[in-house]
Amino acid sequence: MDIKMKQAQLISYLLNRGDPSILPHYPEVNVNDPIEVKRHFPEILRRHADDGFVIIGDCYDMYLAGDCEDYSTYLGIDVNRIVYDKVRSARQVLRVGDVGCGNPKMLKELKEEYGKDIEVVGFDLISLSHHDSLDLFVEGDFEKSLDPGLVNTFDLIFSCNTFRYLATRFSDAYSNVKRLFRTNDSLGFVNYSNYRGATRTDELSAITSFVARNQSLVVNSSGCMRIRSDSPDNPLEYLKKHGAFDL
């Protein structure tokens, strides 16, 4: 669903429910404080996983129910094509994770499409009935240490519009994505940039279309990082050392 459709959905939400004041809205949340945003996430997700969107702070584009097309748009990649290619070349059931899966529409769509060829695993702060149909749901804070049973078991990891809220997006959370990889062919696709309304800044948020010399780290023009097992341990440190425009 493209951005215009989302806006149309928002307008229809307002019209159908009549009263704009009931639009899910969390103006009190300071979007520049990752700890505070994290504290509010469970309640936001519990209440609005079905609505699919909320307004927090001044930023109105927080979605909770992105499908494959939404993920493809936000990440600037073709999610279905990536999964299709991996499924075709896989020697075993492909394990696909989604960090901050929200609703989790994207994983459900993939499961419907690829059935027994893939195993879909959602990660999020709280467990909802929406997660029941996943092959596995991992409840908890992705910035903390991982269950050792999950380490080295994933072929693909996606994360859409979630890392932007994490304090450790270029350290602990990023390293956890790498730890999940099963083989050297495993891949992660993660966008991380700030959202409208937030002033929290860092060097990478301003940088898109970055390619490390050996292509171990690629950031496309949508600000989506492609992570591999040989990606630098800390992308910010890497950038500081090697320079931003490494194309």
Ligand X SMILES: C[S@@+](CC[C@H](N)C(=O)[O-])C[C@H]1O[C@@H](n2cnc3c(N)ncnc32)[C@H](O)[C@@H]1O
Q: Does residue 210 touch ligand X according to CB under 6 A?
A: no
> Considering only residues 97, 102, 122, 223, which one is a binding residue for ligand X as defined by CB under 6 A?
102
What single letter denotes the amino acid at residue 62? M
Q: Does residue 45 touch ligand X according to CB under 6 A?
A: yes
Q: Does residue 192 touch ligand X according to CB under 6 A?
A: no
* Pick 135 or 143: Cβ nearer ligand X: 143
* Pick 48 or 86: Cβ nearer ligand X: 48
Paired residues of 54 in beta bridges:
62
3-state secondary structure at position 172: helix
Specify the stretch interacting with ligand X by CB under 6 A; choose among 15-23, 100-108, 145-153, 198-206: 100-108
The DSSP line for 201-216 is: --GGGG--SEE-TTSS
Residue 129 DSSP class: G
Q: Does residue 179 touch ligand X according to CB under 6 A?
A: no
229: alpha, beta or left? (left if phi > 0; alpha if psi -120 to 50): alpha
Q: Does residue 137 touch ligand X according to CB under 6 A?
A: no
Q: Does residue 188 touch ligand X according to CB under 6 A?
A: no
At closest approach, how far in Å is the CB of 123 from ligand X? Answer: 5
At closest approach, how far in Å is the CB of 125 from ligand X? Answer: 4
Q: In what order do the strands lie in the sheet with 136-139?
A: 136-139, 118-124, 94-99, 156-159, 187-191, 224-227, 217-219, 210-211
Specify the stretch interacting with ligand X by CB under 6 A; choose among 13-21, 113-121, 138-146, 239-247: 138-146
- Asked if residue 9 lies in contact with residue 23, where contact means CB atoms within 8 angstroms, the answer is no
Residues near ligand X, by CB under 6 A: 38, 41, 45, 62-66, 100-102, 123-125, 141-143, 160-162, 165-166
